[in-house]
Each structure stands twice: as C-alpha cells, then as structure tokens.
Amino acid sequence: MQQVALLNALPKMKRNLEKRLQGKDADVIKISKYFGEMYFDGPREYGYGGYRYDGRWIPVAKDIVKHFNLKAGCRVLDVGCGKGFLVKDLMSVCEGLEVFGIDISEYALQCCEPEVVGRLHLGSAEKLPFPDGSFDCVFSLNTLHNLSKPNVVRALQEIQRLSKGSAFVQVDSYYTPAQKEIFEKWVLTAEFHDYPEKWLEIFQAAGYSGDYDWTILA
C-alpha cells in the first residue's frame, strides 16, 4: 500500500465557496444525494452543474495504465464510474483493455458515452456483484466519501476482494482545520470524511492493501 498521485493531470476546478454555502440547505442536499439529473446536469448548487465529456480523463487513464502495467486483455473496474468517461478513455489509451464500471446513478448510466454501452452496471460499492479476484485492477475515485463509515469499510473490503490488492482509491481529506472548513463548505453528498491518519486506520481495518491518495480542497 502506497500513496500515489494518479489524478494530478486533471484541471483544477474553480469553486465559489461562499455561493455554494449560501445556496446549500437541507432540500438541496437531499436532491443532490439522489445522484440524478439535478446532481449531474442541473444548476451548479446541486452538484456538477453539467457533467459532459471533454477528454480531461485521458491523461489520468494513461497514468493508471502505466502505474498498474495494464495490457490488452486485462480486466479493470471503475467503482463510481458516473457516465463512464474514464471507462471510455481507458479503452482508448489501451487497445484491448477490458474496462467496466459500476454506479448507483441510473441517470448517469443512461447518459453514458456510446462507446461504453453494455459495460456499465447499476450497483453499490459496498456490494459489488462480481466474483472474487475477477479484475486485474479496481479503482474508485472520489466516491467512497458518499458512504457511511461502516459502508466505507465494506466497500474497501469489496474492492480488495475483487482486485486482490491491485487497486487505487482516492478520497476526500484535509491536513489542517482550515482545509477541513473549506471541504465542509463545499461538500453536498459526503457521509464520511476525515484526516489522512484516520483514513489509513480505516484502510487497515478493512484489510485494504491497494494504493491511495487524497483529494484536498484549497
């Protein structure tokens, strides 16, 4: 298990923290947690404010392929795949790679890219519907924080079960109280988040041996 930066190539998002905080109330949070059209493609206060393919995941896909030494015929799973943008880009940068995704959002799966039709599954991270060791690599990017702490542990155990440790998770965290305050102003859907040392304790409790990294809002 090691900390590895695989998402550094993503462009940095511009966030209006005060506007998000002013617009955030119980109804907005409730609607966001449906992970439906409002979350992905509705107004910005409900989530992404429009989640459309723009190729930004291509460099990340290349880094994942390189880090895990993936080749044609390898089986890969994206847990929390959304509309399948990274699934599409992994297939494009490594011809013959067998890539699949799973997400709880019916809306996102219905709005997937044409190239990944039939490769995306509806389901939850804490109960992945695949046999033990059925993937050469499993990853989950900025998804696990949407689960309760017990379900985070279950999801990590499931990722470990499918991947035999050849895995990567990136989760929301913070090093300082100031960074924690920024995260809490911005977040809509998180059920669990904590400092890195607490995340590492959870990884250990779950028996997770894959790689990891933190998303730090600043």
> CATH code at 44?
3.40.50.150
Residue 162 lies in a domain: yes
Residue 131 lies in a domain: yes
Residue 11 lies in a domain: no
Quote the tokens at residue 183. Answer: 């995260």
In this prediction, residue 41 has a pLDDT band, given cuts at 50, 70 and 90, of very high
Residue 6 lies in a domain: no
Best CA proximity match to 144, nearest among 134, 158, 129, 131: 158
- pTM of the predicted model, to two decimals? 0.91
Residue 151 lies in a domain: yes
Total domains, the chain: 1
Integer Cα distance of 110 and 82 in angstroms: 10
Integer Cα distance of 56 and 50 in angstroms: 14
Exposure on the CB side of residue 165, measured as CA atoms within 13 A: 5
Residue 1 lies in a domain: no
Residue 132 lies in a domain: yes
Tell me the pLDDT tens digit for each residue of 95-106.
Answer: 999 999 999 999
Sheet holding 120-122, edge to edge: 120-122, 98-103, 75-79, 137-141, 167-173, 211-216
Say which amino acid occupies 42: G
Residues 6+ apart with CB under 8 A from 131: 162
Tell me the pLDDT tens digit for each residue of 54-87.
Answer: 999 999 999 999 999 999 999 999 999 999 999 9
Residues 6+ apart with CB under 8 A from 176: none
Residue 91 lies in a domain: yes
Domain of 114?
A: 17-216
Integer Cα distance of 170 and 57 in angstroms: 15
